[in-house]
Amino acid sequence: SPRLPPRSWKTRCFGFAVTDEDTWVLTHEYSGDVKRPIHALGPRSLTLEDPPGQVEKTLIPDVDSAVLLSNVLAPSETKQLIALTERLGFLDFSPRKDTTLPSCHMVVCDELLSTIFARFAAHLPPGERDSRAEAFNGRWRIYKYGMNATFRPHVDGGWPYQGLTKEGELKDVFSSQRFTQMTCLLYLNDDFDGGETTFFSSRIPGKLAVSAKVTAKAGSALCFFHGGHPASPWHEGSPVLQGTKYIVQSDLVFSTLPDYAVIYGTMNLFSYANRALAKAIGDLQDRSESS
């Protein structure tokens, strides 16, 4: 069963005494026979510092509304995230049938997320119907690309909000008003060759023409629309030719949703509910095994 955080989590949220335990296994997800831990990151799991400069925005040519933002994370923060995920551990994850990558999944507390988000929020484009990006989704996926690893061409989907309560428990919001519209990739390192984020001008497999390539720069964020948004681009994580690439895939929650997201969101909610049911069954199995 999920291991809850120490009792000091609640006091930690209000600035009182802390313990050394600032990450814990929040819950598990099941993919076939694979049991995957979902870790929680409390406010003391990372030491935040000011990035080395102001955030600078670069528009990505030929990719509608996509922006590259520099100085979102400080060098010490990227190194901490790499070290933390290596300590928590990576397991192979297949987000698509043609893609398998080592990954570490976590839900990050609002205290950390809000500080990082505030650094670049003003540089984000508006969503449909002039909606605005309000926050990170709490669910982060950290991918580790080794030699020749790639994330095959795809379009990212949107998801309901996940986060942590003040008691350190999982908070799910099944609401069309708390649904992501934009992908936010956080580059944790750049000491590797290849591994660009490559965008294509067509969504038709077999007819993909490259429209732009973005080279990773540690501490920067690449943001673009996803799901059913009209500007949602077909893209890939191109093969790493040398070294190891670390990247955070996160999502941004917007203030309101366009009409298309009601149908699209409902479809994703059914998928999400199935995952939640599988998790609940797994938790019951855990309790049965431990009793």
Q: What is the pLDDT of residues 12-64, one digit of tens each?
A: 333 323 334 699 999 998 876 778 999 999 999 999 999 999 999 999 999 99
Place of tokens 């690893």: 149
d(C-alpha 267, C-alpha 277), whole Å: 16
Per-residue pLDDT at 271: 46
> Residue 74 above 70 pLDDT?
yes
> Residue 216 above 60 pLDDT?
yes
d(C-alpha 134, C-alpha 106), whole Å: 20
Q: Model pTM?
A: 0.82
> Residue 157 above 50 pLDDT?
yes
- Residue 144 confidence class, pLDDT cut points 50, 70, 90: very high
Per-residue pLDDT at 12: 38
Q: Which of 166, 168, 185, 132 is nearest to 26 (CA)?
A: 168
d(C-alpha 271, C-alpha 275), whole Å: 6
| Per-position DSSP letters for 245-256, written without gaps between them | EEEEEEEEEESS
pLDDT in tens, 161-192: 899 998 889 987 765 556 789 999 999 999 99
Per-residue pLDDT at 126: 92
